[in-house]
Amino acid sequence: MLKKGLEKIIYLGFTLFIFVLVWKAMGVFWNAFVPWNLTTDLIGLFVVGPLLIILAFVLSSLSLKVIKCGKRI
């Protein structure tokens, strides 16, 4: 029971870490290539943001599976 709870906490922490990294990278590229106005900021918030959240969960899940199984890609 405790092992499963600890695993979920590690998974959530790893997911948040990946999300922050992806969000910062997206911010750098967004500022470099997308003109600033209200429409593009709303697109970034309501379209790109949820996609980054999904990407972070998928990457976290795959990474932890690789770590857990001990296999190399």
Write the pLDDT tens digit of every residue in 8-24: 999 999 999 999 999 99
Taking all residues of the chain, what is their mean pLDDT, rounded to a whole number?
89
Q: Answer yes or no: is pLDDT of 73 > 80.
A: no
Range of the domain at 45: 2-67
Distance CA 41, CA 58 (A): 25
Percentage above 70 pLDDT, the chain: 96
- Categorize the per-residue pLDDT at 37 as very low, low, confident or very high, splitting at 50, 70 and 90: confident
73 in any annotated domain: no
The domain total for the chain is: 1
State the pLDDT at residue 12. Answer: 94
Handedness of CA 65, 67, 68, 72 (dihedral sign): positive
72 in any annotated domain: no
Give the phi and the psi of residue 24 in degrees, each rounded to 5: -65, -40
